[in-house]
Amino acid sequence: MLDFLTTYWTDACTGVCITLFMPLFWICVHIGITVSLLLVAVAYLTYAERKVMGAMQRRQGPMMVGPFGLLQPIADGIKLLSKETILPTQANKPIFFLAPMLTFTLALIAWAVIPIDQGLAMSNLNVGLLYLFAISSMGVYGVLMAGWASNSRYAFLGGLRSASQMVSYEVSMGLVIVTVLLCVGSLNLTDIVETHRPFWMQILLFPMLIIFLVSILAETNRAPFDLPEGESELSGGFLVEYSAFAFALFFLGEYANMILMSAFTTILFLGGWHPPFGMSFLSFIPGFIWFSLKVSAVLFFFVWARASFPRYRYDQLMRLGWKVFLPLSLLWVVVVAGILLATGTLPNMPLSEEGF
């Protein structure tokens, strides 16, 4: 009897452990793989940016550390991790260190709903688009907290600039997303990619693609909209008091946000993991490769814009967001809705059982 009870108890405990901990184990494995791949992508995005800008400016770029300079990102990481963290005496210490961690964390958790291939996403949420837009909108908090907690006027002005800049361009980004939703009728990112959009609809959305590309430059504080850092007038802006590992977290967060926004653009406008221009004969190439190539093309646009344009003045930045992009995107929502309604191609969006 005792042997039977012991065996039964052992089997029951084993079953409970498998039921409870195996899903948690695989979730941790997925998170670990995603974070590792993202960190590698961020590291070599910095290398690719310096190489591309070097080619545009007729110079070499990184070339001394390792073959073709391929070990330069690793050397940069070791340098940042080995430096001393300098803390301003009048800074608010908890918020000072929380700000870069928040920025980096938000750049990571947004990838939970990004599908890089058919069925290849950590979570296929029905409101994935809303989740992604909410997470990207929270990025302003890290910069604003860093500017305030540093107790420096330069840093504080950089934080205020970032807050107004991100809020201004999120309005037009939201209206751009509304035009895409009118065409697909779903907040699910996989459904957005899989929904067939005829060629005339792609042409209709092309102006919104241009607005979205410029808006993500402002959303990620990238040149020519890198006013929160403003080295010429703010001595580094919200980053001016940061060094070593805290600076590295901001650095990683900025480049991770670039990759995130490029993936967002790919899903909304570029067909996700499908071959470009409807070339179905190229479907033998895995979807995640197409997705990666499209993300790389948008990242090239980031680098190209940085190498080509001087920094905007702050009044020019606000004028572009509020007087050009906002009215144009609002008008285009009405135009797209009217054309879809007139042609009978407005997707059906049935009410739920609760009636809303």
Q: Decide if pLDDT at 2 tops 60.
A: no
Reply yes or no on whether the pLDDT at 151 is more than 80: yes
Rounded CA separation 99/63 (Å):
34
Q: What is the pLDDT of residue 50?
A: 93
- pLDDT per residue as tens digits for the range 182-229: 999 888 999 999 988 888 899 999 999 999 999 999 888 888 888 877
Per-range mean pLDDT, top range of 135-144, 220-229, 282-291: 282-291
CA distance 177 to 196: 17
Residues 94-107: pLDDT tens digits? 999 999 999 889 88
Identify the pLDDT of residue 245: 86
pLDDT number for residue 26: 63
**For every residue of 10-23, which 3-state class applies, written as one string?**
HHHHHHHHHHHHHH
Phi, psi of 176, rounded to the nearest 5 degrees = -60, -45
Give the DSSP per-residue string, 169-231.
HHHHHHHHHHHHHHHH----HHHHHHS---HHHHHHHHHHHHHHHHHHHHHTT-TTS-TTT-H
- Token representation of residue 256: 């991770």
- Residue 143: which pLDDT band, with cuts at 50, 70 and 90? confident
pLDDT at 349: 52
State the chain's mean pLDDT as an integer.
84
8: confidence class by pLDDT, cuts 50, 70, 90:
very low
pLDDT value at residue 25: 67
Average pLDDT over residues 275-300: 89
pLDDT band of residue 48 (cuts 50, 70, 90) is very high
Q: What is the Cα 229 distance to its own chain's centre?
A: 19
DSSP 103-138: HHHHHHHGGGG--SSTT--S---TTHHHHHHHHHHT
pLDDT digits (tens, 9 = 90+) for 317-346: 999 999 999 999 999 999 999 999 888 888
Per mean pLDDT, which range of 144-153, 298-307, 317-326, 329-338 is the poorest?
144-153
The answer to whether residues 281 and 117 touch, using CB atoms and an 8 Å cutoff, is: no
- Report the SS3 class of residue 246: helix
Most confident segment among 65-69, 272-276, 330-334: 330-334
Say how many C-beta atoms besides its own lie within 10 A of residue 30's C-beta: 14
Mean pLDDT (whole number) for 85-94: 86
Averaged pLDDT, 37-65 = 90
Choice between 15 and 61, residue whose per-residue pLDDT is larger? 61
Domain segments of the chain as ranges: 1-82, 91-343
Range of lowest pLDDT (98-102, 138-142, 206-210, 271-275): 138-142
- 283-300: average pLDDT: 92
Confidence of residue 352 (pLDDT cuts 50, 70, 90): very low
pTM: 0.88
- Which of these ranges, 22-31, 117-126, 179-188, 254-263, has the smallest mean pLDDT? 22-31
Task: Please give the residue that has the higher pLDDT: either 280 or 269.
Answer: 269
Report the pLDDT value the prediction gives residue 356, as an integer from 0 to 100: 38
Look at residue 108 and tell me whether its pLDDT is greater than 80. Answer: yes
What percent of the chain stands above pLDDT 90?
33
